[in-house]
């Protein structure tokens, strides 16, 4: 009877749930606005979109350079292109859809961990979508969103194997592990294996036969190996590189940031829950209570995923995405021990960063940008402020200030309503940024004008090279037929320009466009930098002076 009761409890936890209304609505606002209004992010979206483009258009040519990259994201992009044709919208929607799937299964996973606390089913997705890190990165084209889904789904499969259907659970766990590897590479093992090995000591509700458990785990690993074997042994690339790349992939390296970068961002990545007093009060109260199996399981999985992120990609904020679902479950469980008495102005402190952000954008429209840039160069950094700050408008600041004030003043009585109120803060910031892109910022980040010019140069038979750190931003928007030739130093550019008198060099610089030594073939904006297209003759005649990174 106990087994039958356990089966029905698990079946109740796993049955299909309708989409969580508020988390889905917030996801639609954040992702829909970003994908429609914002161009791909330089150095993040553009890198993976570029890889998908070359794997699609030149699988045996330029695409061979990405043969060692985990392929699942690119396979799904290619599947959509096969159906809908090549377009940026589908390519940018694939990864965010996995973010939505993670929100969908977060509630049932919470109920599996704490069947006697059904309120976690509603709380967990709201907490997850409310994280500043999730809201700011849910619209990115990064494989970490895929991995987050498979890590959470793999944990659900483990519980399924323990409590109801061992064979189906272990098969599903092996499949989730394989798909995680195909999403992000062997780093998925660091996220999923340690907890799987520790489950007999984490889940103490019933005794676990160690021999049978670890035998089933070994069989799941074998299944994962079989599923990933076609990619590992594909003739293109190197299987040893694929199997041994536990660190950040070549597509996602960010080497210029300090090692403590994520520590500095923590208050913003965990906003607003980090700033909300009931979370800390519930933590203090929980410390005086026994730790149940679900809380232990969620806490250890979060710690393991966080450690995996810090070890493999300590400077990439999007690498933290796989750790967020379990942190959301952990917070949801803690909030169930809170007294949940409604209080006036409970959201005043979380509203403060939103008001400050709105005030900053408001001030940028009052103080001349040239003056701010001069002060910044004198006292802070010679590189100057990002050029796009000079194009900010007034409306986004007003939306952030007005919306932050209204949300901060609200005092709903129902606990879930208060959670939704907090989760709306990151969505408000996202909406303000979307408005900013619609009204003024898009021209600073849109790669299509430069990409179209590069495409016309290629069509005319003129070779194009790029000087500096190229991030693939023009490959897909320009539907380029040949990759840009990468050149890493000025001497190489001079040599290439002398050998290709009809060629064009793409370079980036900061500073004033009025100080350029010559008139470029085309001038545009590329996020924080300016981008210029120089003819080979100008590069050679100026002895490389046009290649300076600051004017």
**pLDDT tens column, 66-106:** 888 899 999 999 999 999 999 999 999 999 999 999 999 99
Same domain assignment for residues 151 and 21: yes
The domain boundary, picked from 230, 255, 280, lies at 255
**Would you give the DSSP letter of residue 60?**
T
Q: Which of 397-406, 434-443, 449-458 has the highest mean pLDDT?
A: 449-458
Distance CA 231, CA 236 (A): 9
Nearest to 88 by CA among 477, 475, 446: 477
Same domain assignment for residues 175 and 200: yes
| Per-residue confidence band for 379, with pLDDT thresholds at 50, 70 and 90 | low
Nearest to 141 by CA among 183, 91, 188, 182: 91
Nearest to 177 by CA among 200, 201, 203, 157: 157
**Least confident range of 95-99, 264-268, 298-302, 513-517:** 513-517
Distance CA 128, CA 100 (A): 11
Cis peptide before 449 (omega within 30 of 0): no
Task: Flag whether 266 is in a domain.
Answer: no
| Per-residue confidence band for 173, with pLDDT thresholds at 50, 70 and 90 | very high
Axis-axis angle for helices 293-312, 144-163 (nearest 10): 150
CA distances from 190 to 292, 323, 503, 507 (A): 24, 12, 46, 39
How far from chain centre, in Å, is Cα 95? Answer: 9
What is the helix, strand, coil percentage profile of the chain, to 5?
A: 65, 5, 30
Task: Flag whether 233 is in a domain.
Answer: yes
Contact 161, 59 (CB under 8 A): no
Task: Flag whether 309 is in a domain.
Answer: no
Distance CA 98, CA 411 (A): 33
9 pLDDT more than 50: no
- Residue 39, judged by CB atoms within 10 A of its CB (0-12, 13-18, 19+), counts as buried
pLDDT for the residue 178? 97
Helices (H) and strands (E) in the chain, counts: 25, 5
**Would you give the DSSP letter of residue 28?**
I
Same domain assignment for residues 57 and 129: yes
Same domain assignment for residues 7 and 103: yes
Same domain assignment for residues 521 and 473: yes
The domain boundary, picked from 394, 425, 445, lies at 445
User: What is the pTM (predicted TM-score) of this model?
Assistant: 0.92
How far from chain centre, in Å, is Cα 521? Answer: 35
Q: How many domains is the chain partitioned into structurally?
A: 3
Same domain assignment for residues 362 and 414: yes
Contact 38, 17 (CB under 8 A): no
The domain boundary, picked from 384, 415, 445, lies at 445
Distance CA 103, CA 398 (A): 30
Contact 315, 255 (CB under 8 A): yes
Domain that holds residue 33: 2-255
Same domain assignment for residues 358 and 236: no
Same domain assignment for residues 403 and 465: no
Task: Flag whether 117 is in a domain.
Answer: yes
Same domain assignment for residues 533 and 518: yes
Mean pLDDT across the chain, nearest whole number? Answer: 88
The H or E element spanning position 439 is: none
33 pLDDT more than 50: yes
Distance CA 430, CA 424 (A): 10
11 pLDDT more than 60: no
Contact 429, 380 (CB under 8 A): no
Distance CA 65, CA 202 (A): 43
Task: Flag whether 34 is in a domain.
Answer: yes
Same domain assignment for residues 424 and 516: no
Q: Which residues contact 503 (CB under 8 A, 6 or more apart)?
A: 462, 463, 464, 465, 496, 497, 535, 536
For the segment 524-547, the average pLDDT, to the nearest whole number, is 91
378 pLDDT more than 90: no
Task: Flag whether 277 is in a domain.
Answer: no
Contact 98, 148 (CB under 8 A): yes
**Least confident range of 114-118, 229-233, 252-256:** 252-256
Q: How many CB atoms lie within 10 A of CB 41?
A: 22
Nearest to 22 by CA among 363, 302, 418, 390: 418
Choose between 196 and 438: higher pLDDT.
196
pLDDT for the residue 58? 84
Q: What is the DSSP string of 299-360?
A: HHHHHHHHHHHHHH-TT-GGGGGGGHHHHHHHHHHHHTTS-----TTTTHHHHHHHHHHHHH
Same domain assignment for residues 435 and 464: no
Q: How many CB atoms lie within 10 A of CB 364?
A: 20
Task: Flag whether 322 is in a domain.
Answer: no
Task: Flag whether 319 is in a domain.
Answer: no
Alpha helices (H) in 15-141, listed in sequence order: 21-27, 33-37, 45-57, 72-84, 88-113, 120-130, 132-137
Same domain assignment for residues 529 and 462: yes
């Amino acid at each position: 009877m106990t087994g039958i009761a356990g089966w029905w409890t698990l079946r109740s936890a796993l049955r299909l749930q309708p989409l969580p209304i508020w988390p889905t609505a917030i996801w639609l606002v954040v992702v829909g606005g970003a994908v429609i209004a914002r161009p791909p992010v330089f150095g993040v979206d553009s890198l993976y979109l570029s890889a998908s483009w070359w794997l699609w258009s030149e699988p045996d040519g330029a695409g061979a350079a990405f043969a060692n990259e985990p392929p699942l994201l690119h396979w799904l992009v290619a599947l959509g292109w096969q159906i809908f044709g090549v377009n940026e919208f589908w390519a940018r929607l694939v990864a965010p859809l996995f973010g939505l799937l993670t929100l969908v299964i977060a509630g049932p996973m919470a109920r599996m961990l704490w069947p006697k606390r059904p309120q976690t089913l509603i709380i967990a997705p709201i907490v997850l979508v409310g994280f500043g890190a999730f809201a700011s990165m849910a619209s990115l084209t990064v494989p970490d969103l895929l991995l987050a889904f498979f890590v959470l789904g793999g944990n659900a499969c483990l519980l399924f194997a323990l409590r109801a259907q061992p064979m189906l659970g272990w098969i599903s766990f092996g499949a989730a592990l394989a798909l995680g590897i195909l999403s992000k590479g062997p780093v998925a093992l660091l996220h999923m294996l340690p907890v799987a090995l520790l489950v007999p000591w984490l889940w103490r509700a019933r005794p676990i036969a160690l021999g049978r458990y670890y035998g089933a785990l070994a069989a799941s690993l074998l299944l994962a190996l079989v599923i990933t074997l076609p990619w590992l042994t594909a003739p293109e690339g190197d299987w040893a590189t694929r199997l041994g790349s536990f660190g950040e992939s070549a597509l996602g390296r960010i080497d210029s940031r300090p090692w403590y970068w994520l520590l500095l961002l923590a208050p913003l990545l965990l906003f607003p829950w980090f700033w909300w007093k009931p979370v800390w009060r519930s933590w203090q109260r929980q410390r005086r209570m026994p730790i149940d199996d679900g809380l232990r399981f969620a806490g250890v999985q979060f710690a393991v995923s966080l450690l995996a992120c810090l070890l493999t990609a300590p400077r990439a904020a999007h690498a933290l995405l796989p750790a967020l679902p379990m942190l959301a479950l952990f917070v949801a469980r803690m909030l169930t021990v809170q007294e949940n008495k409604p209080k006036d102005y409970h959201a005043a402190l979380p509203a403060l960063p939103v008001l400050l952000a709105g005030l900053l954008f408001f001030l940028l429209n009052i103080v001349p940008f040239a003056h701010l840039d001069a002060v910044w160069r004198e006292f802070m950094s010679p590189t100057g402020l990002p050029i796009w700050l000079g194009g900010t408008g007034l409306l986004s600041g007003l939306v952030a200030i007005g919306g932050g004030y209204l949300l901060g003043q609200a005092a709903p009585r129902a606990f879930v309503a208060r959670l939704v109120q907090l989760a709306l803060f990151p969505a408000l910031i996202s909406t303000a940024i979307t408005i900013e892109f619609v009204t003024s910022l898009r021209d600073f980040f849109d790669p299509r004008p430069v990409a179209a010019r590069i495409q016309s140069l290629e069509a005319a038979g003129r070779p194009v090279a790029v000087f500096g750190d190229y991030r693939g931003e023009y490959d897909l928007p320009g539907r380029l037929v040949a990759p840009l030739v990468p050149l890493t130093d000025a001497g190489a550019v001079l040599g290439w320009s002398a050998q290709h008198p009809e060629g064009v060099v793409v370079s980036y610089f900061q500073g004033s466009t009025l100080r350029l030594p010559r008139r470029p073939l085309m001038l545009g904006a590329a996020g924080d930098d300016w981008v210029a297209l120089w003819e080979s003759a100008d590069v050679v005649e100026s002895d490389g002076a046009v290649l300076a990174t600051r004017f």
